[in-house]
Amino acid sequence: MKIAVISDIHANIYALINILENIDDEKVDTIICLGDLVGYGPHPNEVISMIRRRHILCIKGNYDSSVVDNKYSYIRETPINAFSLPWTVNELREENRIFLENSPLKLTLNIEGKNILFVHGSPNAINEYLLEDGDNTNEIMNTITEDVLVCAHTHIPGIKEFGDKLYVNCGSIGKPKIGRPNSTYCILDITKESGIKAQIKEVPYAYKRTVKDVTMLNFPNELIHSFETGVE
């Protein structure tokens, strides 16, 4: 079975459209989204509508949760979020807020005898950063019962083996932090014969269209710059 894992779209419709076209070329069996559909970007309703229209299985991200709560529940209280949170709350249609509210926090699948846990941040917290070489990542990978942990939230993709367990971070579609304005996502190829193979894909998109939209909407310069550079 071939699964595309996407996350952290952050209301960037141009990046999402581009990635879905790329995924269609890969002829995957299904797509799973690890959340953070909204926040930072200018197209929250368009992004959620596309995810719903494509019937993409989706869990909840920390920014999604904070937008539902309309407070800094799971995001930092920064100048950028002081702009982005209320802007997104005011922009979001009620039907899309309800979709975010009712999305699950995690997902576990058994595929070809392998148990795979999908989370946004970590199994412990929706807003915990699991970096590839973090001490907390090592601790979690040594304690989970599943064979594979697939996460996001950091916006930094990575694949690493921890003994007989596999850590995968799919990165970010709409607001990368890799030093380049490119989307990243992951393809999991799972067979009985070969087990699980994970691949990170990095794909350029027309980021200048996003920059144009956020500029016209008078988004903060620091936020605009992050879309241009792939640096937070």
User: Architecture of domain 2-109+170-229 in CATH?
Assistant: 4-Layer Sandwich (3.60)
Of all residues in the chain, the percent with pLDDT exceeding 70 is: 100
Provide φ and ψ at 34, rounded to 5°.
Answer: -95, 20
Q: Residue 184 has what pLDDT? A: 98
The closest of 37, 122, 125 to 73, measured between CA atoms, is: 125
CA-to-CA distance for 25 and 154, rounded, in angstroms?
26
Contact 211, 220 (CB under 8 A): no
CA-to-CA distance for 7 and 133, rounded, in angstroms?
20
Q: Residue 180 has what pLDDT? A: 98
How does pLDDT run across 16-61, given as a tens digit for each residue? 999 999 999 999 999 999 999 999 999 999 999 999 999 999 999 9
Bridge partners (DSSP) listed for residue 148: 116, 166
| 3-state secondary structure (DSSP) of residue 53 | helix
0.95 cut: is pTM over it? yes
CA-to-CA distance for 65 and 160, rounded, in angstroms?
28
CA 212 to chain CA centroid, Å, is 23
Q: Residue 124 has what pLDDT? A: 97
Contact 45, 211 (CB under 8 A): no
Average pLDDT, the chain: 97
| Element of type H or E holding 187 | strand 182-191
- Tokens, residue 180: 């380049």
How does pLDDT run across 125-160, given as a tens digit for each residue? 999 999 999 999 999 999 999 999 999 999 999 999
Q: Residue 165 has what pLDDT? A: 97
The closest of 161, 131, 132, 133 to 148, measured between CA atoms, is: 161
How does pLDDT run across 80-90, given as a tens digit for each residue? 999 999 999 99
Contact 34, 120 (CB under 8 A): yes
Contact 130, 139 (CB under 8 A): no
> Domain residue spans in the chain?
2-109+170-229
Contact 43, 62 (CB under 8 A): no
